[in-house]
Amino acid sequence: MRVLHHYWLSSGSRFCRVMLAERKLEVMLKLEHYWEKPKAFLMLNPASTVPVMVEDDSTVLVGVWPIAEYLDETYPDSAMITGTPAQKAEIRRLTDWFAVKVEREVVTPLVYEKLMRRLTGEGEPSSTVIRASLNNLSAHLEYINHLAERRKWLAGPKLSAADLYAAASLSVVDYLGDVQWQDWPEAKTWYSRIKSRPSFRSLLADHVTGLKPPAHYTDLDF
């Protein structure tokens, strides 16, 4: 069976799980403590990052760009990057926005400060870094709110990879209790639509040992 090497609070891993679930494709999850650079995992991906997907025929797909395009090419009927060239470019732009920019400015530092430091014994969280990341988060939520006000889905009239990545990122930050949803009503309505999709339900059941999500995290009516 297809295997997805993942980590619970990795937005890229969550994105791939939802991309697979939207297509009703089965996958076996394999948890990776990628920061410890396990030897067997380095053989698959010398960058030691998740997600990595391994197909039945042993095709190895490393990272968000390769996995997203591979799934679209292999299962074109349920493609998540569709439309005119301009629409596809917009979907890829926004997916990359969340996969690279939001990852660097918000998700990676918050997960590091609030979880990884404890797992790796690297001292107390830095309140300066947390504050800067939350400021960045506000700017990104404002952008999502702006897009959700003007479009049915973030990249246009159809649900796309951009929505799934954005929601995957926000679900990680929301797990940490850092999203002030009441300040972003349009973003909240958009997120509640994604949250109620069957593909998203299993993500919300994840629990990281020793780190409890806030009460509203799994609520559809939050």
Q: Name the site residues for a copy of itself (rule: CB under 8 A).
A: 46-47, 59-66, 69-70, 73-74, 85-86, 88-89, 92-93, 95-97, 100-101, 104, 143
In the complex with a copy of itself, the residue whose CB is nearer, 132 or 211, is 132
Q: d(Cα 139, Cα 184) in Å, to the nearest integer?
A: 11
User: Minimum CB separation from a copy of itself for residue 209, in Å?
Assistant: 29
In the complex with a copy of itself, the residue whose CB is nearer, 186 or 206, is 186
Q: d(Cα 57, Cα 48) in Å, to the nearest integer?
A: 22
37 Rama class: left (phi>0) / alpha (psi -120 to 50) / beta: left
Identify whether the C-beta of residue 163 lies closer than 8 Å to the C-beta of residue 14. no
User: Minimum CB separation from a copy of itself for residue 193, in Å?
Assistant: 23
In the complex with a copy of itself, the residue whose CB is nearer, 65 or 217, is 65
User: Minimum CB separation from a copy of itself for residue 1, in Å?
Assistant: 18
Looking up tokens 């997907």 gives 53
User: Minimum CB separation from a copy of itself for residue 92, in Å?
Assistant: 4
Identify whether the C-beta of residue 190 lies closer than 8 Å to the C-beta of residue 154. yes
Identify whether the C-beta of residue 78 lies closer than 8 Å to the C-beta of residue 145. no
In the complex with a copy of itself, the residue whose CB is nearer, 60 or 211, is 60
